[in-house]
Amino acid sequence: MIKWADALILIKQNIKKNTDLNTNKSIYRIVDDVSSASPFWCHVRHGVNNAITITEDKLEKCFKHATSAAYNRVYQRQVYADLFGEPNYPCEVNIIGMIFEVSGFATSKKVGVGNHYQIM
């Protein structure tokens, strides 16, 4: 089971400018910019004219809550809602999940109307 420190290393290695964070049902989720220093952050374009910044702090909180006994290593919408309430942009939940998947420590699975990301 991966720990947060190792997950962050994988995120920093795999999330770069122009990284595609689309699910099989989305378009226009591309990393526009990333930090070159700590703490990590990435700026993700979603849609034609929108963008969101995902911070290391937000990623860590989502990772740790998803890996708690309550969620059994599954990141999903309710994990995000528990921590931050409903997102301003619903795609933010999947952007975080795709950061985990593209970094190589999670796999996605369609469950009902949403995606669940199983953290290894």
Residues 6+ apart with CB under 8 A from 113: none
Look over the chain and give the mean of its residue pLDDT values, rounded to a whole number: 94
Q: Among residues of the chain, what percentage have pLDDT more than 90? A: 82
Over residues 10-17, mean pLDDT: 97
Tell whether the model's pLDDT for residue 24 goes beyond 90.
no
Backbone angles phi, psi at 35, to 5 degrees: -75, 150
- Using one digit for the tens of pLDDT, what is the confidence trace for 52-95? 999 999 999 999 999 999 999 999 999 999 999 999 888 999 99
Tell whether the model's pLDDT for residue 22 goes beyond 80.
yes
For 7, half-sphere exposure in the C-beta direction (CA atoms, 13 angstrom radius) is: 24
Give me the helices (H) in the chain, please.
4-14, 56-66, 77-84, 91-102
